[in-house]
Chains A and B, each alone.
Chain A
Amino acid sequence: MTPTLLGRWQTRLLLLATIGAFVTSPFALGYLRPEASFSFFWVLGYVAIFGIAWDIVYDYLQKFRWDRDWPGVLQLLAGIWEAAFLAVILKIFHLPGIPQETSLFWFALHYSLVWLSVYISAQVIMRILFLRWRFHGGQWL
């Protein structure tokens, strides 16, 4: 991938709002756990909001790469970093909408599934639905 900053934002928001929400639903509705909890949607929201800031950092780092690309492996590292950051913030500070006693296991499971499905959708669905997406650095609008 060779995303631009605008492309990163547009793809992140679209995929979290669609695929991300789809993957989050079974967690939030309690299909996978004993009790339902809307806090998973809050997690999704924070990933989106913090991500807008992180994308600026990634875009800056990308300029140090000769090819100005952002391979899958860096997307994975960025994903792990964002998860760790969010988990620390969650545990140390109180974030509205997410109880501080949230289980890290469920957080990690939910986050990983969202990341994986968003990554795969960006590789497959975005290309098939949006013909111009890959030529515009990930912008679909």
Chain B
Amino acid sequence: MNPDSRQIQLNWVDPTTKEQQKLRLKLPIAIGRELSKMPSTIHGDRVSRLVLESTQVSRFHALILFEQGQLVVTNQSQSGTFINGISVNRGVLNHGDQLQMGNYAIAVTFVASSLETDSVISFHPDTDLPEPEVQRKTVTATSDFPPAIFQSQQISVRDLYATNLPVYQIDYVAIGAGLGSFIWVDFLRIFGVKVRQIVAIGLEKQPYARYQRLCLNSQIPLHERLRSNSDSCPDNIWGWPSYAIREAWRDFYKGKINSALQYLWQVFAEPTLAETYTPRAGNVFDSIDREAKRIGWHQIFRYGRVRAIRKTDDERYAIAYSCSSSNHRDRAIVLARYVHLATGYPAIQFLPDLQKYREKTQDFKSVVNAYEQHEHVYKHLERYGGTVLIRGRGIVASRIVQRIYEVRQRNRNIFVLHLMRSPKSQGNKFDAAQRQVENHYEFQPFNWPKACWGGELRAILENASPQQRQQFLKDWGGTTTAARSDWRRIVQEGISQGWYQITFGEVERVEREQQNTITYIKGKDLQGQIKLQADFIIDATGLEAKAKSNPLLDDLVTHYNLPLNHLGRLAVAHDFEITEMRSGKGRMYAAGAITLGGPYAAVDSFLGLQYAALRSADSLAAVRAPGMHRLNCFCSFSQWCKWITNQSPV
């Protein structure tokens, strides 16, 4: 290390958002949970204090000093500080070392990395397909639409009509028209609102279109199972009959008594004595089709892309949307008093080094994101064999390993390198409980501990302060996969047969050399460098949901100066209202991934969307929004009877 600079770079993955964090800090450095507990100066030098929000990190956890030409870390915590997995009280840090504190694994670099850009793959604004070449900012190109009056904070309705654009008036508007919108509309319909009072604006008619595409790309064909609970039914607000009961019933009817009994046993004993039941993707989509028909979704859906939303002078919202197709330009305004935002994940996260590789080589075939269509990878492997490098260790990585295993049954000449940033020997801890770990995969049936949906953890999070929420989300979050016995067997088998190998390290860069990708990993010292050669690299690190990545939300946040939470998502109240957007009687709600970091953890799940929809529906019923009636026991029962007999709710 160059002693003059006295700076090091720390890289880690945030346990909640899974986003990469990068910080260059001047020595000495103190790390801990509470700023006030860490020293501000040492021997007259100002200390750089790094706060890590997690209860697994002590208030003052570790100190990094420059002593006699080397970097020395001193542990200050009872739970210990680890260098490359070894517990140290006082240890020397080298370039490329992994520093572990609680659930954080921090890579230490003496030479700063040149990768600074935030890289994502956007969804195409018109087709909604993942488009690696589309630059995010190009979609907000200025034009004559939305009209100039949209520059003010509040629009007069008279001015709106003066624009000569078609203006429609309606009570409720759902923006996005994906699963979040569908579930909200389902609640509105069951609470008494009529079809003609609601409009859902989006790009695709089927509410699950984008979700299904991402499932298929990330290797969940229709017969495979989603990572979702039996009673998380986007088609049924009561969760009964659950998917397990429906599947058991169907199998029983077909004479498959054993599998029917197995599903029932699974939901009775999961996760303790049986593997968690999860529904087949195809069954979930079919059930949504049935419910969409029952509630009149196809009359409610309107094709279009929302460009801007503004408050009006009559306590409503003006929503400017374009519904242009290739042969004609069409724009319109909808005026509504109640608006719901569920625009989903704005983009797919893409590892910066892979983004750089693509920009440099224009090779979009060998380096892919798991959520992009990448069937050619498996076809190539099946025919010619080869090596695949997988990045990320969540549920998507598990599915890809499974798919490769299946392909491998037809061609034995396939090898998998699974590159992880750091070893994982211990699972996250919270109070008296700890998460299970096997082969560096951390297991959890769903993406949050179960009690986040409707148990004790839900209540704890809702009642917590924003500061505490940050900590809880870190403690409960992180990258996990399901403890499916087939996946565990595949990994075990792969390791023992040698075709599946787990490697750890911080990627420096990815290059193309003679038909192969070469991943360079930082070595322990400045000279050392590990090279990983692979035919394909699959990035399975996830989706991105910062409000600023979505042009519509970005415009709304900037225009009305809306507060964002610590994860950069929309700040919402307990009932999911964006309170700063209140316009007299008008109310605006949000749901889904764009609200993570607020009062509820499991926002991007079927059941979480239902929870959000229920909370906003209850608050709309409380303010006597048109058509809305709070569902008491009797109404709930009569609505359920309509559901089971497939009759329209109103």
Contact = CB atoms under 8 A, between A and B. Distances in A.
The answer to whether A and B come from one shared complex is yes
Interface of A: 2-4, 62-69, 71-74, 123-124, 127-132, 134-137
Contacts of A74: 272
B268 interface: yes
Nearest to A66: B433
A118 B127 CA distance: 51
A66 B430 contact: yes
A65 B433 contact: yes
Interface string B146-187: 000000000000000000000000000000000000000000
B458 to A, nearest CB: 7
A2 B457 CA distance: 9
Contact of A131 (B453, B459, B614): B614
Interface residues of B, number: 40
B231 A134 contact: yes
Nearest to A132: B614
A69 B456 CA distance: 9
Given A129-B636, A131-B631, A131-B636, A68 B456 contact: yes
Nearest to A2: B455
A135 B269 CA distance: 20
A74 B270 CA distance: 10
B267 A72 contact: yes
Contacts of B231: 127, 134
B271 A71 contact: yes
A138 to B, nearest CB: 9
Given A3-B455, A4-B455, A66-B444, A131 B433 contact: no
B269 A71 contact: yes
A66 B435 contact: yes
A131 B634 CA distance: 11
B457 A68 contact: yes
Interface in B201-247: 231, 237-240
Contacts of A66: 427, 430, 433-436, 444, 449
B238 A68 contact: no
B269 A72 contact: yes
Given A71-B272, A129-B636, A137-B454, 9 more contacts: A66-B434, A71-B268, A71-B270, A71-B271, A72-B267, A73-B269, A74-B272, A128-B238, A128-B636
Interface string B425-469: 001001111111000000011000111011111110000000000
Given A67-B444, A71-B270, A74-B272, A127 B456 contact: no
Nearest to A123: B240
A68 B432 contact: no
A73 B272 contact: yes
B168 to A, nearest CB: 32
A124 B272 CA distance: 22
A128 B640 contact: yes
A62 B456 CA distance: 10
Given A68-B433, A73-B268, A135 B614 contact: yes
Nearest to A68: B451
Contact of B450 (A64, A67, A124, A127): A67
B458 A135 contact: yes
Identify the interface centre among A3, A64, A123, A136: most chain B CB within 10 Å of its CB. A123
A77 to B, nearest CB: 10
B637 interface: yes
A128 B637 contact: yes
Contacts of B451: 2, 67-69, 137
Contacts of B427: 66
B450 A68 contact: yes
* 4 closest A-B pairs by CB: A2-B455, A68-B451, A67-B450, A72-B268
A67 B637 contact: no
Nearest to B600: A135
Nearest to A5: B456
Nearest to A73: B269
Contacts of B141: none
B240 A67 contact: no
A66 B272 CA distance: 11
B633 interface: yes
Given A135-B458, A135-B614, A2 B453 contact: yes
B611 interface: yes
B42 interface: no
Contact of A134 (B239, B269, B449): B239
Contacts of A63: 431-433
Given A135-B611, A137-B459, A127 B240 contact: yes
11 contacts: A2-B451, A2-B457, A3-B455, A65-B433, A67-B449, A68-B433, A71-B268, A71-B273, A128-B240, A135-B454, A135-B458
Contact of B455 (A64, A68, A129): A68
A63 B633 CA distance: 31
A24 B252 CA distance: 32
A137 B445 CA distance: 19
A64 B456 CA distance: 13
Interface in B110-143: none
B453 A129 contact: no
B459 A69 contact: no
A78 to B, nearest CB: 13
With most chain B CB atoms within 10 A of its CB, the pick from A3, A4, A131, A136 is A131
Nearest to A129: B633
Contacts of B455: 2-4, 68-69, 137
Nearest to B443: A66
A67 B271 contact: yes
Of the candidates A4, A67, A129, A134, the one having the most CB atoms from chain B within 10 angstroms of its own CB is: A67
Given A124-B240, A128-B636, A136 B454 contact: yes
Nearest to A70: B455
A131 B237 contact: yes
Contact of B238 (A62, A67, A131): A131
